[in-house]
Amino acid sequence: MGHTLVIVESPTKARTIRGFLPKDFKVEASMGHVRDLPNNASEIPAAHKGEKWANLGVNTASAFEPLYVVPKDKKKVVKELKDALKGADQLLLATDEDREGESISWHLLQLLSPKVPVKRMVFHEITKEAIGRALEQTRELDMELVHAQETRRILDRLVGYTLSPLLWKKVAWGLSAGRVQSVAVRLLVQRERARRAFKSGSYWDLKARLEQAGGGFEAKLTHLKGERIAGGSDFDESTGDLKAGSKVKLLSEAEAKALQSQLQAAPWTVAEVEEKPTVRKPVPPFTTSTLQQEANRKLRLSARDTMRTAQGLYERGFITYMRTDSVHLSDQAINAARSCVAAKYGKDYLSPAPRQFSTKARNAQEAHEAIRPAGEAFRTPNETGLKDKDLALYELIWKRTVASQMADARLTMLSVELQSGDASFRASGKRIDFAGFFRAYVEGSDDPDAALEGQEVLLPALKVGDSPTCKAVEALGHQTQPPARYSEAALVKMLEKEGIGRPSTYASIIGTIVDRGYATLANNALTPSFTAFAVTALLEEHFPDLVDTSFTARMETTLDEISQGQVQWLPYLESFYKGEKGLETQVQQREGDIDPGVSRTVELEGLPCVVRIGRFGAYLETKRVADDGTEELLKATLPQEITPADLDADKAELILRQKADGPESLGEDPETGDQVYLLFGQYGPYVQRGQVSDETPKPKRASLPKGVKPEELSLEDALGLLRLPRHLGEHPDGGKIEAGLGRFGPYVVHHKGKGEKDYRSLKAEDDVLMVGLSRAVELLAMPKKGRGGRTALKDLGTPEGGDEAIQLFDGPYGLYVKQGKVNASLPEGTTADTITLEQAVELLAAKAATGKAKGRKPAAAAAKKPAAKKPAAAKTTTPKKPTTTKTGRLRASAVRVIKAADR
């Protein structure tokens, strides 16, 4: 008797769904996409090798026919799926219920060519009830959805693969362009330009601390002699002066302090009291976009981490499908949420009637529910057994869903006008009369200084004619602030507002922007790089439509109309890519007009030089007069950590001066008599003992730890860094402990003997030059963290002759082993109890051999290299030329760009 084969995307999803299916059902995982456009030249079939369009992967001369291939690392998976299909009497394609999931099912159907009946099985949560319903309500493949996804994929490929090679030639090797990626980068650059152009304005105001009947409160100056006092919004950002035509009073410091003295002892009177009742309604439950925004604001999770964590929760049956534009809740979900409210907060906190929400997002297309806890009864967060990020994200989803069915919050907004002489002050407050949904959830803000809506600001009982006592008056000086950089939450919000891209792709787009060096993410702010400035300027000048938000939004609308059958996909692709105004022609015509010297130059106001993009990153260039009177070019590499936002005239002059005059000496090393120098390299500032010479071709160097400012570095600290690693003492279990600085930052290491070493990174609060033995022992006792901050399930040991242990982890796609930077998934059927060290070594070696772990060695070989043997030598400003051939560089660059998420 045959079986029913069910195919899903991941092993985790397979394990969860298997528990809800009959015994004669067999579940296999496709491990995501099994087929795609070719990633590199080696994947192009021999029959198409000579074709001009083969690298593009789309035959633009023949109805834009895509060339789909099975990547090397998926051939084994496809074979296993074909084997599993043998003997089956039915095939159920149970990939996710969205465009991409429909596309994966179509590709599986094309590859497997089943001879048995095939049905599409869809569900948006993995619970017993949902899987039971899905089995009863199977359907045919939705070819409109498939068509929409394939058109989107082809369009993204046309944009990415046509523009990226142009960027290699005109800006730098290895860059990528993308339909949505390039627009998002431009948004970051536009904000940074506004910040650089911003002129700060100064203004003063007064704050009074008052008391009435024992209750203290604060009031702020608003008017003087009936004239409104200037605030931050009254200033022109481009001049730093008051906006033209502003009818406000700009207080100087002298005027503010004189007024402060007058008011200290003057009588105060309450002139007006206003109480305004107001109601706040709960926000809708989460969509993909709002989940990414709130997780970034409240949990400081990146969009990528949020989606990875949410996918794990979905696949293990904790939440509904995490890619959705819908805020709709099923009757089952509303009943479950209302039960939670009644049980946890009481019936008074229930909304009088069930709340249903409608989707307002532009081009909303996924026919799912909102993201909510799975099932007909919601598990409370403490009933789930979840930990860390999983628990935090589930709790956020649980609270938001439950709050959506709670009563409105009732508040009273309080405003009190006070008079003292010619000065008018205002005190504002907020009284929560009934907390309602605030008990469960209050939405965060993109402004970190903004108070949460649910915080009460109480004022004492005040009525007109009261004379509160003035305790103190303070004169305060202010500087207007430039527009804030985008956080991930703010960028996601902007992309969605403009109708650019799909919310399900935002995580990969932002990840690509950071991975490709277009932006850095620090303190939850995205800061564009010099490369981002150069690429954006080139695209703005020569391909303005492709980085225009409204053009890209119209493109998105057209793609949605294609999915609904309202627009024909082939004529649209023809018009976009071909003809006089098509992308292909535009690139060919523009290529000759674009001067690489200009496109690699970033001109920033106020600098004594220009910034150029070179093969090894950004560098400064200026002309200077040499000793012999001739003019020469002076170039100096910019440290990677310096962004356009950081670079001012002083920093530029310091780097150029060091290049021209030689490195700055911090003093002499008393032990060797050598000078200790502070230098700037491509990878940041570093210290060096002595100069490079024939006798000392590689003098001792040490990078500055993160957060150490070069201008504040003392000779003592520099000597401490150069003498790392430090011996801290003996471990209680035997073996010495050292503190050092490696390529991944400061660390402590326990030398266990026989070459075995145990490393732990130092925490932000630890100083590598000061950390002691007891703290090191404490750090070494902590479980070693793996990918995404996960704790290892077990340590399998260290291969013979190796230094790094192999550990076992449980990730969103199932169990995997890890050594150093190499990960390998466990084959189906292998468990945490059965995996051995020998099997792990074989798996890691096989993974490294596939080429996915670029530049990494097989497990046993990689183990021989210590993870952090010594501090990484910082690069000098004149790096050696690589010996790679031009063809090799081109191929390597092509592979890198091809693997970018060109959306």
DSSP H or E stretch at residue 822: strand 822-825
DSSP string over 236-275? -TTTSSBPTT---B---HHHHHHHHHHHHSS--EEEEEEE
In degrees to the nearest 10, what's the CA dihedral of 177, 178, 183, 186?
Answer: -20
DSSP type of residue 703: E
Angle at 96 between CA 91 and CA 99, to 5 degrees: 110
- Amino acid identity of residue 104, one-letter, is I
From the list 161, 203, 314, 321, the catalytic residue is 321
601-602 and 525-528: which strand pairing?
unpaired
Count of C-beta atoms within a 10 Å radius of residue 374: 24
321 catalytic? Reply is yes
Beta carbons of 180 and 546 less than 8 angstroms apart: no
Neighbours of 219 (CB within 10 A): 24
- Beta bridge pairs of residue 896: none
Q: Which two tokens stand for residue 109?
A: 């159907």
Report the DSSP beta bridge partners of residue 810.
Answer: 815
Residues 722/702, Cβ–Cβ less than 8 Å = yes
- Rg (alpha carbons) of the chain, rounded to whole number: 31
**Residue at token pair 């490195």:** 663
* Amino acid (1-letter code) at residue 63: A
Q: Identify the residue whose tokens are 């109805």.
A: 63
- Tell me the C-alpha distance between 797 and 872, whole Å: 27
Cα separation of 322 and 313, whole Å?
Answer: 9
Beta strand spans in 94-214 (E) = 118-120, 202-212
Question: What is the C-alpha separation between 679 and 668, in angstroms, rounded?
Answer: 15
**Type of residue numbered 485:** R
Q: Tokens standing for 78?
A: 């496809």
Structure-block tokens of residue 123: 């569900």
- DSSP states of 526-595: EEE-HHHHHHHHHHHHH-GGGG-HHHHHHHHHHHHHHHTTSS-HHHHHHHHHSSTTSHHHHHHHHHTT--
Q: What is the three-state SS of 179-202? A: CCHHHHHHHHHHHHHHHHHCCCCE
With 0-12 / 13-18 / 19 or more C-beta atoms within 10 angstroms meaning exposed / middle / buried, residue 594 is middle
401: left (phi over 0), alpha (psi -120 to 50) or beta: alpha
User: Which residue in the block uniquely carries the two structure tokens 């105060």?
Assistant: 268
What number of other Cβ atoms are within 10 A of residue 244's Cβ?
Answer: 7
The closest of 605, 583, 584, 586 to 594, measured between CA atoms, is: 586
Cα-based distances in Å from 202 to 231, 251, 319, 477: 9, 9, 50, 7
475: Cβ contacts below 8 Å, ≥ 6 apart? 204, 205, 206, 253, 256, 257, 259, 260
**Active-site residues: which are they?**
321
